[in-house]
Amino acid sequence: MTVCALSLGSNLGNRLGNLRRAMESLRAAGKVIAKSGAYETPPWGVASQPRFLNACVAMETDRTPEDILSAAKEIERNLGREHRERWGPREIDIDILTYGDISLDEENLTIPHFHMRERAFVLVPLEDIFPEWRHPVTKESIHDLLEATGREGIIKITSL
């Protein structure tokens, strides 16, 4: 079994409900062993859109990273995600952040997630579930990464 971390985000519809339904759906791909709080965060990439709710989950799985990616995309479709502009509004977004301590760079999948080092909306909830995590390539701690990105505008609103 491998432990992986996934990021969940929503800024359309019932944001908290979308996060909770996504997390429950992930149970089909592995055992959820930790979940962060839900954080309201400013949009990233496209500023003129509603604020997001973001969270992270950790799960043990015997599935490959590609299998987890496929499951995540299916969950997004099942929860009504419509593809709009890149980094624009969405009903649900599920990204693989980490998968064990591997580093993977393929056409459709990069682990650790390519942009996670610059996204406080990912790092803050990731710290809830993996406070001792270190980037497998750069060896930076989650604390160091958060020092660089800051926590501005990120508000914990509830538990998942």
Q: Which residues contact 55 (CB under 8 A, 6 or more apart)?
A: 7, 8, 9, 19, 23, 35, 36, 37, 38, 39, 125, 160
Residue 90 appears among annotated catalytic residues = yes
Question: Of 90, 101, 119, 151, which residue is the catalytic one?
Answer: 90
Question: Of 21, 81, 119, 128, which residue is the catalytic one?
Answer: 81
Residue 119 appears among annotated catalytic residues = no
* Cα-Cα-Cα-Cα dihedral sign, residues 109, 110, 116, 122: positive
Q: How far is CA 35 from CA 10, 126, 138, in A?
A: 16, 9, 25
Question: Of 15, 63, 93, 128, which residue is the catalytic one?
Answer: 93
Residue 84 appears among annotated catalytic residues = no
Residue 86 appears among annotated catalytic residues = no
Q: Which residues contact 123 (CB under 8 A, 6 or more apart)?
A: 116, 117, 142, 145, 146, 149
Nearest-angstrom CA–CA distance, 85 and 17: 23
Show which residues are catalytic: 81, 90, 93, 95
